[in-house]
Structure 1
Amino acid sequence: MGDWSFLSEMLDKVESHSTLLGKVWMSILFIFRIFILAAGVDGIWGDEQANMDCNTLSPGCRNACYDASFPISHTRFWVLQILTVSTPTFIYLGHVMLVIRKENKLRRQLGQKCDSNRMIKSPKYSDERGKVQLKGLLLVSYMLQLFFKILLEVAFIVGQYFIYGFILMPNVITFKGGNCRTDTDCYISRPTEKSVFIIFMLAMSVLSVVLNIIEIFQLMISKMRHRENKSIGSI
């Protein structure tokens, strides 16, 4: 399945600048999606086309049946899903790194005090350890990446249904067309195991959507309470 170390390192950096629910989402992405996909998918899927048996020896018929039934392999679809859904988080990480770099530069300027006549703004979003606070533009950036992750997850859930036309893996696919001159039955290997895997990955996608929605509402409620407490304290 390839090397996921780069993705792991990037998401580890994001985790230090996320909320508690954001860390839970990272754990689900790592343990229940990336790790299980990398560990178990090769043994269950393998070479899908080679493992498909058809009740005909017509050259090219099995290839045509497989291509019509699976325009893209489930495994490649899930890899594409994980990388795409993680992209908004990487963009947020880039924003965080940019903010930290700018504010570290401000700290150096404040420490040097090279120009006493010029007003230098104090760091607003991060502390000396590089820990950021979700407020202002950073909060907007964080909320946007949550929103886009929800949209992308839903798009892939719907897309999976429209691409394959089924949730459970069927035992047999009847196909006619291309090099298959008559109705041809092609039998899928390990359909039950594949069905369990499909359901599991769909469940993880739905859980990811739910966690992101809850996190958005949690952030909104938290900021509303903070404003209320601030307004009460100013009275």
Structure 2
Amino acid sequence: MTSQKLGFLSSVLCKWHAQATLIGKYLLPVLLLIRFVILGAAVQTVWLNDKGKFQCNTQQPGCEVTCFDAVTPLSLPRLWTLEETQVQRGNDEVKGHTLSVYRACVAFVIVVEVGCSAAQWLLYGFELSTDFSCGRSPCPMRVDCFLPHAWEKTVFLRIMFTVSSVSILLNVVEAVCMLRAKLRRTDGDFEE
């Protein structure tokens, strides 16, 4: 990770820290740290040169590429980093966040987390198999293909489901806490 990204994250954490409840103050740093550590380990060890290690028991030109695309329709590391690229602005500058923007960001994180978790589940389920039977064109017949590091990918897949579930839960709790604080302030205004 470059120092520019670390500077951006530090800036986001400082701005959001002022708006967050107690849960929110720890939610973002912990989940980002967990995700970056997991992604750093996953990309470097399990998904590096994945296409080059994927094998099918055929010599038909194009068959192996087609089967690889069928077994991995979307790169999981790309799906997992989707949220980082959605939060970061193009000029790497963080504008001042108000409470309403923070609330919108919490809602956005919940929607993105649910959407990405649903996409991950629809595309891969909860585990990846070492062997894969493929019968797509241009393969002359059904061929057996073999996905490298399937067990390690399954472990990372389950860890990311867990992290996403915790993130969704904590963001919902954060939203409820902010709503309760807003209602208390509103009730206090009516009593005066």
Q: TM-score, normalised by structure 2?
A: 0.84
Q: Which residue of 2 aligns with 1:33?
A: 35
* Whole-Å separation in 2 of the counterparts to 1:32 and 1:155: 20
User: Aligned to 1:143, which of 103, 118, 128?
Assistant: 103
2:128 counterpart SS class: coil
The alpha carbon displacement at 1:176 in A equals 0.9
Correspondence 1:210 to 2:183:
no
The alpha carbon displacement at 1:227 in A equals 4.0
Go from structure 1 to structure 2 and tell me whether the alpha carbon gap of 1:150 and 1:48 turns closer, same or farther (over 3 Å shift): same
Q: Which residue of 2 aligns with 1:70?
A: 72
Deviation per residue, 1:67-125 (Å, 9 max, x gap): 122222111221223322x359xxxx5243xxxxxxxxxxxxxxxxxxxxxxxxxxxxx
The alpha carbon displacement at 1:60 in A equals 2.0
Q: Is the 8 A contact 2:17 2:24 kept in 1?
A: no
* Whole-Å separation in 1 of the counterparts to 2:34 and 2:163: 7
2:18 counterpart SS class: coil
What amino acid sits opposite 2:113 in the alignment?
E
Q: Is the 8 A contact 2:15 2:96 kept in 1?
A: no
Correspondence 1:22 to 2:9:
no
Query: Which of 1 and 2 has greater Rg?
Result: 1
The alpha carbon displacement at 1:36 in A equals 2.1
Q: Is the 8 A contact 1:143 1:216 kept in 2?
A: yes
Q: Which residue of 2 aligns with 1:109?
A: none
Aligned residue-pair number: 186
What amino acid sits opposite 1:149 in the alignment?
V
Q: Which residue of 1 aligns with 2:157?
A: 198
Deviation per residue, 1:132-165 (Å, 9 max, x gap): xxxxxx3332222211211111111112233x24
User: Aligned to 1:61, which of 57, 63, 66?
Assistant: 63
Alignment of 1:71-86 (within 5 A): 71-84=73-86, 86=87
Q: Which residue of 1 aligns with 2:11?
A: 10
| Unpaired runs of at least 5, structure 1 | 97-137
2:148 counterpart SS class: coil
* Whole-Å separation in 1 of the counterparts to 2:53 and 2:8: 31
The alpha carbon displacement at 1:205 in A equals 1.2
The alpha carbon displacement at 1:231 in A equals 5.1
CA RMSD of aligned residues (A): 2.4
| Unpaired runs of at least 5, structure 2 | none
1:182 counterpart SS class: coil
* Whole-Å separation in 1 of the counterparts to 2:18 and 2:88: 16
Q: TM-score, normalised by structure 1?
A: 0.70
Correspondence 1:155 to 2:157:
no
1:94 counterpart SS class: coil
The higher relative CO (CA closer than 8 Å, separation ≥ 6) is in 2
